Structure 1
Amino acid sequence: MLSKKIPRATARRLPIYYRYLTVLLSANKQRVSSTELSEAVQVDSATIRRDFSYFGELGKRGYGYDVANLLKFFKGILHQDSLVSVALVGVGSLGSALLNYNFHQDTNLRISAAFDTKPEFANTVKSGIPIYPAEEMTTQLKEQQIDVVILTVPGDKAQKVTDQLVEAGVKGILNFTPVRLSVPKDVQVQNIDLTNELQTLIYFIKNYSEDNK
């Protein structure tokens, strides 16, 4: 559908647009302007128009954007029209919380398998999701044709597990560990560092609050 790569910053904003358009459609909203989108998603309207321009003419001057058509377009761009199975590796406190999270409520994503080294987790079911022993990970990922994984293992195990995931054919890793993983060029890694985000938030509070201006 898209013949050229778009900037990564734009790609990161597409799910934000998609989610809000879903809300608008549920509210029977037929059209929306870039200004209205801007106020709702906290992205300036010029950036929204530039983001949309990468995909051609999605709206009409003086009319705005047709919500249903725009949502359908982004649904295709984000591959929301087909179910995507995801695996979780590491069923600790964070992993367990993610297993309980209802990913598929507003998306086409579902966690269909989990893996852990702890014997007490092996061959059990948590939140409706089967948990397999770690030694079955490579086989199960291949058999279930899963190429996206959420990684929540301890940091000292992260790279070793990542190497196994690459061997199993995984192409995308959502990395919740503090380790910056080494992967081949054809494997995408998205790092979610909660400690870093909190530290950044605290810095912003201390240095960018109204009292410090």
Structure 2
Amino acid sequence: MAETTPKIPQATLKRLPLYYRFLQNLANAGKKRVSSSELSEAMKIDAATIRRDFSHFGALGRKGYGYDVDDLLQFFRMTLAQDEATDVALIGVGSLGTAFLKYNFQKNHNTRIVVAFDPKASADGKMNGSDIPVFHPDLIEEKIKEFNIDLVILTVPTSAAQEVTDRLVDIGVKGILNFTPVRLAAPDWMHIHTIDLSVELQTLIYFIKNDVKDS
């Protein structure tokens, strides 16, 4: 993602890829302009929230006209650096990791998994019929540097999460997408985004039982 001003709320930043994806659909359908109310109805996000999100980036629309779809799509493409491919490493090829390898992000996004690590990896780097090389974790430092990786997806057992993180800190990896429930300790310069599936599920259950809309 392109560098952004720290004044932009994190919640807004997390919605940017959603806006970009929806605008892609609009452009593909041949739509030339869209209003915040139309975006709100289609995306189930409050129109005031959409206008507030967009206002952080200046005047993206025109009063009485709405937003030009192509212009807005181009703006978010640049903001999210969609034209710049980012190579990613996956550490942990269990059930979740295998799903990531089979999907890979390059099909729909500007990121792609190019190397993975797992204790069950064979000496030749082949595993699970994937065309992505999978090496033993002993080779993390060597291969991360070889593939010039700044971003890692972490799907290792809980007991190994902090140890692996410490190794990634030592070699200067800039970001971790953490799918373990561990609250990882790392220097301030490293960006860690934790997705705890059990917490997300419990939050969804709360929303359902209390009829709360997730915006």
The question of a shared fold, defined as TM-score above 0.5 by the shorter chain, is answered with: yes
The answer to whether the 8 Å contact 2:121/2:135 transfers is no
Instruction: Give the Å deviation of 1:203.
Output: 2.9
Q: 2:156 — aligned with what?
A: 153
1:82 alignment partner, one of 78, 81, 84: 84
Partner Cα separation in structure 1 for residue 126 and residue 62 of structure 2 = 53
Partner Cα separation in structure 1 for residue 145 and residue 121 of structure 2 = 22
Partner Cα separation in structure 2 for residue 47 and residue 158 of structure 1 = 36
1:132 alignment partner, one of 127, 130, 135: 135
Tell me whether 104-113 or 15-24 shows the greater mean CA deviation.
104-113
Partner Cα separation in structure 1 for residue 149 and residue 203 of structure 2 = 33
The answer to whether the 8 Å contact 2:150/2:173 transfers is yes
Paired residue secondary structure (1:157): helix
The answer to whether the 8 Å contact 2:33/2:67 transfers is yes
Q: 2:102 — aligned with what?
A: 100
Q: 1:10 — aligned with what?
A: 12
Paired residue secondary structure (1:111): strand
Give 1:48's aligned amino acid: I
Instruction: Give the Å deviation of 1:168.
Output: 1.9
Partner Cα separation in structure 1 for residue 160 and residue 109 of structure 2 = 30
Instruction: Give the Å deviation of 1:132.
Output: 1.4
Answer yes or no: is 1:51 the counterpart of 2:36: no
Per-residue CA deviations over 1:121-157 (Å, capped at 9, x if unaligned) read 8611543211111111111111211111100000010
Partner Cα separation in structure 1 for residue 107 and residue 174 of structure 2 = 24
The answer to whether the 8 Å contact 1:2/1:55 transfers is no
Per-residue CA deviations over 1:189-208 (Å, capped at 9, x if unaligned) read 11111111112222333343
Q: 1:115 — aligned with what?
A: 117
1:168 alignment partner, one of 152, 156, 171: 171
Q: 1:67 — aligned with what?
A: 69
Partner Cα separation in structure 2 for residue 17 and residue 206 of structure 1 = 28
Q: How many residues align?
A: 209
Alignment of 1:19-58 (within 5 A): 19-58=21-60
Quick one: structure 1 residues 86 and 119, their matched pair in 2 at CA, closer, same or farther if it must change by over 3 Å? closer
Quick one: structure 1 residues 3 and 97, their matched pair in 2 at CA, closer, same or farther if it must change by over 3 Å? closer
Q: Structure 2 unaligned segments of length 5 or more: list them.
A: none
Q: 2:194 — aligned with what?
A: 191
TM-score for both structures, normalised by structure 1: 0.92
